[in-house]
Amino acid sequence: MKPKEFYEQNYAPYKDTARRVYDRLFFKKSNEILLSFPSYIKIEDSKVLDVGCGAGECLVTFAWHGAEVTGITPRQVEVDTAKTWLKDSKMEGTVIKGTGEDLSFIMDNSFDIILLIQTIEHVQDINKVISEIYRVLKPNGFLRITGPNNLQPYEGHYKTLWLPFCPKWIAKKYVKWILNKDPLILDNINYMTRHGMMKRLNQHGFKHISNFNSNKFYSSIDELYIK
């Protein structure tokens, strides 16, 4: 079975919008992530860890450009999809079922680049994830992190206008009765701001290099850090 067929079949319960599926199938987002890296960051021969790798788009994209890739994701369907895509693309990589809170099986200072793409808003313990990422990243290694800024009047998971930091008990009623969508997704979403996330990362020792959005208080998280 081809990766596209595998993805469409196994991701049926998770496909919230056609655009999201299209972007993943054709590696649009992962290519944007890779191409936006500064030229002084060497991708070829680098060791890349994608925490919350999803279906493996970034794994395949970075492997195409010569990186040694490892992905971690908590869902078995994503592990299977990522492995299928790597194999079909004739690329090598490691995909592990797990979470960013526990990287104890990885030695300190192991990776040159860590990707945390649209993942940090879903973890159970943000500080633990950041601490583990810092531990396994090499000195002078790079962290690329993206995520939502809940100061925006928009909710990306439901693709709708949103009251910033809306209490979840109210939000669930809105999602269920107005949007007619599953409100339980809200249980797995952490409200956060860009500057709040930057403060956390700085407290753990990361140094900010640049952002890839406008530098405004309501901008989405899309940052590059160095250890």
Q: Tell me, yes or no, whether 117 and 138 share the same domain.
A: yes
pLDDT value for 23: 59
Q: Tell me, yes or no, whether 205 and 165 share the same domain.
A: no
pLDDT value for 88: 83
Q: Tell me, yes or no, whether 136 and 212 share the same domain.
A: yes
Q: For residue 65, what are the contacts with CB-CB under 8 A and spacing of at least 6?
A: 34, 43, 44
Q: Which domain holds residue 161?
A: 154-190
pLDDT value for 173: 94
pLDDT value for 16: 47
Q: Tell me, yes or no, whether 121 and 158 share the same domain.
A: no
Q: Tell me, yes or no, whether 78 and 131 share the same domain.
A: yes
Q: Tell me, yes or no, whether 111 and 210 share the same domain.
A: yes
Question: What CATH number does residue 125 fall under?
Answer: 3.40.50.150
Q: Tell me, yes or no, whether 166 and 86 share the same domain.
A: no
Question: Is the Cβ–Cβ distance between 122 and 188 less than 8 Å?
Answer: yes
pLDDT value for 128: 96
Q: Tell me, yes or no, whether 28 and 67 share the same domain.
A: yes
Report the alpha-carbon distance of residue 196 to residue 55 in Å, rounded: 28
Report the alpha-carbon distance of residue 171 to residue 182 in Å, rounded: 11
Q: Tell me, yes or no, whether 130 and 162 share the same domain.
A: no
Report the alpha-carbon distance of residue 214 to residue 193 in Å, rounded: 14
pLDDT value for 43: 97
Q: Tell me, yes or no, whether 183 and 87 share the same domain.
A: no
Q: For residue 221, what are the contacts with CB-CB under 8 A and spacing of at least 6?
A: 120, 145, 146, 147, 148, 149, 192, 194, 197
Q: Tell me, yes or no, whether 114 and 132 share the same domain.
A: yes
- Total count of domains within the chain: 2
pLDDT value for 13: 46
Sequential pLDDT tens for the chain (227 residues): 454 555 555 555 444 434 555 556 567 788 899 999 999 999 999 999 999 998 899 999 999 999 999 999 988 888 888 898 888 889 999 999 999 999 999 999 999 999 999 999 999 999 999 999 999 999 999 999 999 999 999 988 888 899 999 999 999 999 999 999 888 888 889 999 999 999 999 999 999 999 998 888 889 999 999 99
Q: Tell me, yes or no, whether 160 and 136 share the same domain.
A: no
